[in-house]
Amino acid sequence: MPAAILADLHAHTTASDGELEPEALVDAASAAGLNVLAVTDHDTVAGVARAQARGTACGLEIVPGCELTAYYQNVELHILAFFVDIAPDAPLAAMLETLRVKRKSRAFEMAARLTKAGFPLSDEDVIEAAGGADSIGKPHVAAALVKRGHARSVRDGLLRFLVGNAPGNVPKQQLSPEEVFAAVHEAGGVAVLAHPGIVPHDELIAPLFRLGMDGVEAYHLSHSDVNRRFYAGLARRYEKAVSGGSDFHGPGVKPGVTLGASGVDEAILADLRKRAAARAERLSRATPASIRI
């Protein structure tokens, strides 16, 4: 773990499956003593602007980001995107809109399958549980299961009904790593493999680097010291970036996970900034301002 954690580069808001509104997340990060926070909601940047506005007011920098899912050799991979352009007409926006629509359809299919399996759940139940979320996901379906009395907690709902061979599990749209990396890079961002130590597929990391992946999240809260040293060393070997964060969602989804419990120091953050700046510079040279759309 870095000696002095300056930035938590992995946190979620109510725009996806986090429990705190963007403003409340920023307040919590500030109270935790952080200087920088990356908002990395699943398949959406809808909470970033609100977080940035609150961050400006309280002196905390917000890194615009999101967490995307790719599939490689039948393995599900989570990819963190940092320093992306969040404008509605930015290159990443079209992909995120497609994913938003598909996520909603997927959640409704989960409800239909659960109903067929004897656990009645309606589309309206899911929408109510999601509240104002831009990106509907499994935790919202799990919350609906709790409200209907089918599960004891969100975690119970996830584990019993929505993973593996459980009756409500519906696969995500399968994007390739190349599609995800290209979308992140076209938005001026840096693409980093999230929490590689949770379900290790270390043999895939070097091929993913060759496909365009920019780094690995070595300092995830779930990683052991051995994991952290291994992934940080692997990134150095391939001259790639390192990132780190708590993966904060809130106590209902991820009990015991606190903001700032894992993150990066100033040197690691500076390297990520440098890589993003170089990407933006390359994009600027490739697309002259006079014809940029």
The tally of domains found in the chain comes to: 2
35 and 153 assigned to the same domain: no
CA pair distance 4, 15, nearest whole angstrom:
29
Residue 171 lies in a domain: no
215 and 263 assigned to the same domain: yes
Give per-residue pLDDT as tens, 66-97. 999 999 999 999 999 999 999 998 889 999 99
> 134-138, 158-162, 203-207, 289-293: which range is least confident on average?
289-293
109 and 84 assigned to the same domain: no
64 and 184 assigned to the same domain: yes
138 and 236 assigned to the same domain: no
Residue 2 lies in a domain: no
143 and 92 assigned to the same domain: no
257 and 112 assigned to the same domain: no
59 and 197 assigned to the same domain: yes
Residue 157 lies in a domain: yes
* Residue position matching structure tokens 């040279």: 285
pTM of the model: 0.88
pLDDT score recorded for residue 290: 41
Do residues 189 and 87 touch, judged by C-beta distance below 8 A? Answer: no
CB-neighbour burial class of residue 225 (10 A; exposed 0-12, middle 13-18, buried 19+):
exposed
75 and 147 assigned to the same domain: no
pLDDT score recorded for residue 291: 43
Give per-residue pLDDT as tens, 194-222. 999 999 999 999 999 999 999 999 999 99
183 and 286 assigned to the same domain: yes
Residue 136 lies in a domain: yes
3-state DSSP assignment of residue 220: strand
Examine the pLDDT at 44 and tell me if it is beyond 60. yes
pLDDT score recorded for residue 91: 83
CB-neighbour burial class of residue 237 (10 A; exposed 0-12, middle 13-18, buried 19+):
exposed
| Structure-derived torsion over alpha carbons of residues 175, 179, 184, 188, reported in degrees to the nearest 10 | -170
3-state DSSP assignment of residue 103: helix
DSSP bridge pairs for 242? 216
Percent of the chain with pLDDT over 90: 88
- Which residues constitute the domain of residue 123? 105-161
pLDDT score recorded for residue 138: 93
* Residue position matching structure tokens 């996970």: 257
- CATH no. for residue 72? 3.20.20.140
135 and 118 assigned to the same domain: yes
